[in-house]
Amino acid sequence: MPADVVPIDEERFLLVIGNPDPGKVRGHDAQGLPILIDPLPPTAEALSVRERSWRDAEIESVKWLRERHRDQLDIGEQTTLTPEQFSELLTYIQALRDWPQSLDFPDSQHRPIAPAWIAEQTQ
């Protein structure tokens, strides 16, 4: 055992190591005993990565609507989306692309909002 080992009782082991509270991380107090603490807030870089990942997934999740509409037009079929819906879809996709350049990026409270009808298309 290393010289700086601090023995802990079973209760502390179970509380801190065996079954920690969700959302907490392990730290150490002044005596070197393990304790649970709140994690540090994410860095600006981590927030940016998370928001870009969300944005990329969101674009991927609606691409099929754009492609279906264009395919229906190309083969001369009745389109599922109205011209207004298609315009809203394209505007939303562009807002997603522009999201990282927004002054509010990466604050997730200011993410572009999908038109409500999109959820109905995916059910």
Q: Name the pTM for this structure.
A: 0.74
Q: What is the pLDDT of residue 62?
A: 96
Q: What is the pLDDT along the chain (123 residues), one digit of tens a residue?
A: 788 888 888 999 988 888 888 889 999 898 888 999 999 999 999 999 999 999 999 999 999 999 999 999 999 999 999 999 999 999 999 999 999 999 999 999 999 999 999 999 875
Q: What is the pLDDT of residue 67?
A: 97
The three-class DSSP label of residue 100 is helix
Q: What is the pLDDT of residue 89?
A: 98
Q: In whole angstroms, how large is the CA radius of gyration of the chain?
A: 24
What value, to the nearest 5°, has the Cα angle with vertex 67 and ends 84 and 96? 70
Q: What is the pLDDT of residue 31?
A: 86
Q: What is the pLDDT of residue 121?
A: 87
Q: What is the pLDDT of residue 123?
A: 59
Cα–Cα separations (whole angstroms), residue 82 to 70, 78, 96, 100: 12, 10, 21, 29
